[in-house]
Amino acid sequence: MENDKKMDITQHRIGVFDSGIGGLSVLKELLKTFPEAQYYYFSDDAHAPYGPKSDEFITDRSFKITQELVDQGPELIVVACNTATAASIDALRAHYPNMTFVGVEPYLNAIYKETTPAKMVVLTTESTGKSERFKRLKERLDPIGFIDNFSLKNLARMVEEFYYDPGLEAQFDRELELELAPLQGKNYTHAILGCTHYPLVRNKIEMILNLKTLSPCPYVAQRVRELSVKDNEVLSPADHEFYFYSSSKPGWTKKDRDNFLGPFKK
């Protein structure tokens, strides 16, 4: 009898971090696209949101968080924060040359994918909107200025607060109306969501502004899988949980994959 050939089974480990819970919008897509991986999510909620903070502060936090994730043994780290990507990803790649980083940037190339007439605005945090990386990206992908940019001062903070206190929904809805008021009457057909917090409330944004929202999160998840999985690779099933770290309550805990989006699950 021939001996059964033993197959090598791979367990992938992926680190993910954000200023808070915004990166859960990326994790949601990762769990759909690459469910076999084990995930380590770092929420820097003690310092959220990053939008109003300096690049130096954000980069310092990004380095501290990355080292905590590296200690968990991942093969790839997702910088699941537009602001941290803009401020820090180049420095992270230089400092950790053996680590693969995938960042999140506003989905400006959506301009080339829409086949129907469109009027677009990209919604960012203040820090992302002012960053040189974002400006270069916009100049490269939108040289004629087809896409308007509007920075939302409070939305990331509002989403954080709503996540941890779902009873604030009525207050959140009122504040969201005020936050988006300057965009009313502009006749935008599409809003590109340039902060990972924003897809968590995309249905509310679409309803208030009567437009379609576009998010890079599914494409980020697909890129992570492409970089991680080799052809004909046999993947081991993952746990039904993922690891979660909160900087406001330091220490790794486990969260159920089916029950982590709180008020944003619907």
Active site residues: 81, 195
DSSP-derived secondary structure for the chain: -PPPPPPPEE--EEEEEESSSTTHHHHHHHHHH-TTSEEEEEE-GGG---TTS-HHHHHHHHHHHHHHHHTT--SEEEE--HHHHHHHHHHHHHH-TTSEEEE----GGGGGT--S---EEEEE-HHHHH-HHHHHHHHHH-TT--SEEEE-SSHHHHHHHHHH-GGGHHHHHHHHHHHHGGGTTS--SEEEE-STTGGGGHHHHHHHHTSEEE-SHHHHHHHHHHHHPPTTPEEPPPPSEEEEEETTEEEEEEEETTS--GGG--
